[in-house]
Chains A and B, each alone.
Chain A
Amino acid sequence: MISQVFILSSKGDHLIYKDFRGEAGKDAVNKFYEMVTALTGGQPPVVMKHKELHFVHIRQGGLYWVATTKADASPFTIIEFLNRLTALVKDYCGCLSEKSVQMNFALIYELLDEVVDFGYIQTTSTDILKNFIQTEAVSSKPFSLFDLSNVGLFGADTQQNKVAPSAAATRPIVSSQGEQVKNVSTAGCYGLFLGASGVLMKADIEGEIRVKCYMPSCSEMRIGLNEEFSIGKSQLSGYGAAVRVDECSFHQAVRLDEFDTYRILKVCPSQGEQTVMQYQLCDDLPTAPPFRLFPSIERDSGGRYRTLFIHVPLSLRQSLFSYSAAINVSITIPVPKGSLRLSQELSSPDQSAELQPKNKAVHWEIPRFPGGAQLSALFKLEVSGLSAASLQEVGPVSLSFELPKYTSTGLQIRFLRLSPIQPGPSQRWVRYVTHSDSYTIRI
């Protein structure tokens, strides 16, 4: 039973406040902000208690989303509710930020009215809610699908381009009858630990298939996956690269009657974003890790004993990436405490590297990494008080990257069909992306 819900900006400005049960006063808001800013780094901020009132909050989009409760409620319910609320606001307003919340406060109050009744959560599904929500969302930058069709090289004909920029996924839902668009994106998060000798210590992938539907009324959609897709460890992999995951779970509304034979998912997507399928794969990845890194560290054996050379050759596997590239690759190397200066040799001008003394790390940014390429960097660090033990501080290297058009499990969407066929023109976009979750390589 939720007593109040409020949204604060990171500076403590009151954006939204709604009291459902009248059990606690408005001073709870200030009290919460005091408590959350007084926490030290190690203390968990999720649940805090003040007298009889519990504060449960999440942080998203730079805002604090807080629910208070007097009863001993289930933490999973409240946290899941807050997550769902942020997803709803994001669906309606396009993006989640202080500005969009401020511009759409009427919509958010209406949402809160419908979603929670006297502290009991009623429903958070967009299908049911769209019948009740009247307010239109105001978005900070108006978006039109016509922008997309002009993407192309100058001089090329203005045929409808087959590629939309990824900003299409963050479009807000518009309730008027406009363009009818559906996006299906398959996103995977790649977590990996490589030990010191290159031995793979732990690798796992968590992925999901998300459907974002802008059509006001949608009938059944059929999503076809790879035919050789298999679930579970007990199944033996046949010839060729079988597509396999350890576990997968489906959304409630998905019908699986054709899944066993043809690997087809049937779902009636509601307007907005929903996760149709989630899957996990641990430890037995079908493909080798995309990035390979062989850092080497040396102390300067010449005159001055205070320099550390770190040589980092980095390569991206060729086979699958010959036609695409990884974007926004950033590499972080922790360095000893007394590091003073960094000088670097990088292979191309658009890369950049800097020493961040606050985090004691060297940050190397590569905006675009072509497939099959091998880039390397040589860093020269001046460290005061360098000793043999300082080499231990050059800690595990962590990478963060985004690989578009690639899924590490090999999961592909063969087709996307709507039945019955829609009257107006409808567009379907399929996007594959792999993000790094925690890609760490020990030295």
Chain B
Amino acid sequence: MPYLGDEHTVRELRRALSNPNVQADHLRYRNTIHRVIRLKLCDVWGQSEVLAVLQRYRPRSEDELFDILSLLDPALLSHHAPVMAATLRLFLSLCSTLPAVCMSALERVRGPLLAAAGSTSRELRYAALCHIQLLLRSEPGLMGEHYKRFFCGYAEPPYIKQNKMQVLVELVNDDNVAMVLDELRGYCTDVNTETSQTAINAIGSIGRSYTDRCLAILTGLLGLKQEHITSAVLQTLRDLVWVCPQCGDAVCSALEGWEDNLQDSQGRGALLWLLGVYGDRVTGAPYLLEDCIDGVRSEVSAEVKTELLTATLRLFLSRPAETQDMMGRLLVYCIEEEVDMCVRDQALLYYRLLHCGIEEVRQVLQGGRRSDPSLGPLIGRPPEPISQWASSFNTLEPLTLGASTVGNSDPATPKPSTLTPNTLTSNAEAMTPTPGDPHLPDCSSGALSLSVSPALTPEEFERLWLQLEKGACLEVCVYSNLAKNRILSTINCQCFSMTHRGNSWLLVLFSLGVCDNFFVIF
């Protein structure tokens, strides 16, 4: 039993909880609870235990609710962090139907939380920071004027610095953007590589709304010519360009005199992607690609090789004369000597695509999106309702969640992938049934499994099939197996089995679609 301080209090509580008469008489029960709520008699541990016990009590009327809240009010401002956190959790659970009360409770608890975020104990600081991040999800403007408290001290451990930087990104507004960016710029040259990468990513996130300033800082950082900084900047620029295509000019001028040799594979992948997309505006692009192609034998990472293939093909479309030769060499190497099957298949695909004609290539590679402005600026994200995170406040969950997101240095931007399913969307869908096909298992569940009893009867399927419009009609004169294979591979279908009777053919094909749908076609 927790040490509630007074024997009298414990006795009363025990009596109240066991006596059915008292429970029935709500007035007496309420008085007993009030006596328990005289928290000042307990010490810190007793108070937090009592508050945890009170989570289970549901007040019978609104009057009682407000009485309890007013009694607990001073505990909300307590400078003992456990008591303050337990009280806030109780407030949020009791007032889940009264959003105004919740909001005012959040405002009141700001002071003690900030004090905890500045305490001498690092672990307590970390816990307070994780909880502040929870609060900011519902009320982004809560800490606006206290942004300076989230500047990092130079001796703080890296995990606290990274958390603080994440919070700083959310607190940016027109007034403080200059100071915040100045501060983040200082962290980019930190000794610890992960901290500097997080700082660079933070600048990239702010760049979605304040593009010019952030671009200036990022391109300035390229001048330092330090491996980890350059790699992080390139990845950030790639993500930024995906969201704000208007940055293209600045990026091109940054790539103009590029001389560096990057070792990090993620950085090289980002550089190749940028060269591919903006190759027509960067004068030295073919020569940079040529260097990479010459060194492709010693390249280890499959992603870099795939990016190289796509970038070279893209550049070929805009500058054929300069790139034709190296394109050929690259394809020969990948098809003949490459060990990794994904890279080889990609090269084969591009080879066959080129045979189909330059227009097909153009349609496939450039028909897809080059940017996604719908991802939008960072600021202006709608605040979440408190109920979404109220149950995890004051538990270990925000701290363990923080562990998984801080380690991932990329903020939540999708990596623009250049894998074939994406680029061949327009062609693949021509031959497949509509995505509304109930045969398909739920993609979001992850693993695919065969279901023995199909959800659709054969009659329904036939009816649905006949209703479908013909997306495209591929008239094929199939005179040999090789031709069939080639055609099928251009539309990204592969053949399970095949029979023919006379002049008619029966092919079972399967294809991997955009969202990893598995289509089976007859």
- Listed in ascending order, the chain A residues whose CB lies under 8 Å from chain B are 40-49, 54, 56-58, 69, 72-77, 79-83, 120-125, 189, 191, 193, 195, 201-202, 206, 247, 249, 252, 278, 280, 282-283, 332, 334, 337, 359-361, 385, 387-390, 392-393, 395-396, 398, 400, 437-438, 440, 442
Docked-complex contact B124 and A83, CB < 8 angstroms: yes
Within the complex, what minimum Cβ distance (angstroms) separates A224 from chain B? 23
The contact string, 1 if C-beta is below 8 Å from chain A, for chain B 43-55, is 1110011001000
Docked-complex contact B44 and A80, CB < 8 angstroms: yes
Docked-complex contact B49 and A75, CB < 8 angstroms: no
Q: B179 contacts the other chain (Cβ, under 8 Å)?
A: yes
Docked-complex contact B124 and A438, CB < 8 angstroms: no
Identify which of A43, A44, A280, A385 contacts B118 (C-beta below 8 A).
Answer: A280
In the complex, besides A40-B194, A442-B186, 12 extra interface pairs with C-beta distance below 8 angstroms are A42-B158, A54-B400, A56-B123, A74-B82, A75-B398, A76-B124, A80-B82, A83-B121, A334-B189, A387-B225, A395-B186, A438-B153
Q: A79-B127, A278-B79 are in contact. Are A74 and B86 (CB under 8 A)?
A: yes
Collect the chain A residues with CB atoms within 8 Å of residue B156's CB. 438
Supply 6 A–B pairs (Cβ within 8 Å), ascending by A.
A49-B400, A83-B124, A191-B153, A202-B151, A247-B111, A393-B189
Docked-complex contact B397 and A42, CB < 8 angstroms: no
Identify which of B43, B122, B159 contacts A125 (C-beta below 8 A).
Answer: B43
Q: A42-B407, A47-B396, A79-B127 are in contact. Are A122 and B82 (CB under 8 A)?
A: no
Q: B395 contacts the other chain (Cβ, under 8 Å)?
A: yes
Identify which of A49, A390, A400 contacts B224 (C-beta below 8 A).
Answer: A390
Q: B126 contacts the other chain (Cβ, under 8 Å)?
A: yes
Collect the chain A residues with CB atoms within 8 Å of residue B21's CB. none
Within the complex, what minimum Cβ distance (angstroms) separates B105 from chain A? 17
Collect the chain B residues with CB atoms within 8 Å of residue A46's CB. 123, 126-127, 159, 399
Collect the chain B residues with CB atoms within 8 Å of residue A201's CB. 148, 179
Within the complex, what minimum Cβ distance (angstroms) separates B191 from chain A? 6
A388 to B272, CA, bound (A): 27
**Leading 3 A-B pairs by shortest Cβ distance:** A438-B153, A389-B223, A44-B159
Residue of B nearest to A400 (CB): B155
Docked-complex contact B159 and A72, CB < 8 angstroms: no
Collect the chain B residues with CB atoms within 8 Å of residue A49's CB. 396, 400
Which of chain B's residues 82-118 have a Cβ closer than 8 Å to chain A? 82, 84-86, 111, 115-116, 118
Q: B402 contacts the other chain (Cβ, under 8 Å)?
A: yes
Residue of B nearest to A389 (CB): B223
Docked-complex contact A202 and B81, CB < 8 angstroms: no
Within the complex, what minimum Cβ distance (angstroms) separates A302 from chain B? 24
Q: B182 contacts the other chain (Cβ, under 8 Å)?
A: yes
Within the complex, what minimum Cβ distance (angstroms) separates A435 from chain B? 10
A437 to B182, CA, bound (A): 21
- Listed in ascending order, the chain B residues whose CB lies under 8 Å from chain A are 1-3, 43-45, 48-49, 52, 79-82, 84-86, 111, 115-116, 118, 120-124, 126-128, 148, 151, 153-156, 158-160, 162-163, 179, 182, 186, 189, 191-192, 194-195, 198, 220, 223-226, 394-400, 402-403, 406-407, 409
Docked-complex contact A396 and B186, CB < 8 angstroms: yes
Residue of A nearest to B399 (CB): A47
Docked-complex contact B395 and A74, CB < 8 angstroms: yes
Docked-complex contact A438 and B155, CB < 8 angstroms: yes
Identify which of B45, B160, B163 contacts A123 (C-beta below 8 A).
Answer: B45
Collect the chain A residues with CB atoms within 8 Å of residue B116's CB. 76
Collect the chain B residues with CB atoms within 8 Å of residue A193's CB. 151
Docked-complex contact B82 and A77, CB < 8 angstroms: yes
Within the complex, what minimum Cβ distance (angstroms) separates B466 from chain A? 54
Within the complex, what minimum Cβ distance (angstroms) separates B508 from chain A? 44
Collect the chain A residues with CB atoms within 8 Å of residue B84's CB. 76
Identify which of B43, B123, B148 contacts A58 (C-beta below 8 A).
Answer: B123
Question: Majority SS of interface residues in chain B?
Answer: helix
Within the complex, what minimum Cβ distance (angstroms) separates B122 from chain A? 8
Docked-complex contact A72 and B395, CB < 8 angstroms: yes
A389 to B230, CA, bound (A): 13
Docked-complex contact A75 and B395, CB < 8 angstroms: yes
A47 to B79, CA, bound (A): 23
Docked-complex contact B43 and A337, CB < 8 angstroms: no
Collect the chain A residues with CB atoms within 8 Å of residue B128's CB. 76
Docked-complex contact A280 and B115, CB < 8 angstroms: yes
A76 to B400, CA, bound (A): 14
Docked-complex contact B224 and A389, CB < 8 angstroms: yes
Q: A75-B396, A80-B80 are in contact. Are A44 and B194 (CB under 8 A)?
A: no
Collect the chain A residues with CB atoms within 8 Å of residue B182's CB. 195
Q: A334-B191, A437-B153 are in contact. Are A75 and B399 (CB under 8 A)?
A: yes
Docked-complex contact B407 and A122, CB < 8 angstroms: no
Collect the chain A residues with CB atoms within 8 Å of residue B1's CB. 120
Residue of A nearest to B226 (CB): A337
A389 to B225, CA, bound (A): 8
Docked-complex contact B189 and A122, CB < 8 angstroms: no
Within the complex, what minimum Cβ distance (angstroms) separates A81 from chain B? 8
Docked-complex contact A74 and B394, CB < 8 angstroms: yes
Within the complex, what minimum Cβ distance (angstroms) separates B190 from chain A? 8
Docked-complex contact B403 and A44, CB < 8 angstroms: yes
Within the complex, what minimum Cβ distance (angstroms) separates B188 from chain A? 9
Docked-complex contact A74 and B85, CB < 8 angstroms: yes
Q: A74-B82, A122-B45, A389-B225 are in contact. Are A41 and B192 (CB under 8 A)?
A: yes
Q: A76-B394, A442-B186 are in contact. Are A43 and B407 (CB under 8 A)?
A: yes
Docked-complex contact B189 and A121, CB < 8 angstroms: no
Identify which of B48, B191, B224, B403 contacts A48 (C-beta below 8 A).
Answer: B403
Collect the chain A residues with CB atoms within 8 Å of residue B397's CB. 72
Residue in B155, B189, B223 whose Cβ sees the most chain A Cβ within 10 Å: B189
Q: A121-B45, A280-B115, A280-B118 are in contact. Are A43 and B127 (CB under 8 A)?
A: no
Collect the chain B residues with CB atoms within 8 Å of residue A360's CB. 191
Within the complex, what minimum Cβ distance (angstroms) separates A255 from chain B? 13
Docked-complex contact A438 and B154, CB < 8 angstroms: yes
Q: A83-B124, A389-B223, A389-B224 are in contact. Are A121 and B159 (CB under 8 A)?
A: no
Docked-complex contact B399 and A44, CB < 8 angstroms: yes
A390 to B189, CA, bound (A): 11
Docked-complex contact B396 and A72, CB < 8 angstroms: yes
Docked-complex contact B2 and A120, CB < 8 angstroms: yes
Collect the chain B residues with CB atoms within 8 Å of residue A195's CB. 182
Docked-complex contact A43 and B224, CB < 8 angstroms: no
Within the complex, what minimum Cβ distance (angstroms) separates A208 from chain B? 9
Docked-complex contact B45 and A77, CB < 8 angstroms: yes
Within the complex, what minimum Cβ distance (angstroms) separates A330 from chain B? 12
Docked-complex contact A41 and B194, CB < 8 angstroms: yes
Collect the chain A residues with CB atoms within 8 Å of residue B226's CB. 337
Collect the chain B residues with CB atoms within 8 Å of residue A278's CB. 79
Docked-complex contact B406 and A44, CB < 8 angstroms: yes
A278 to B119, CA, bound (A): 11
A202 to B182, CA, bound (A): 13
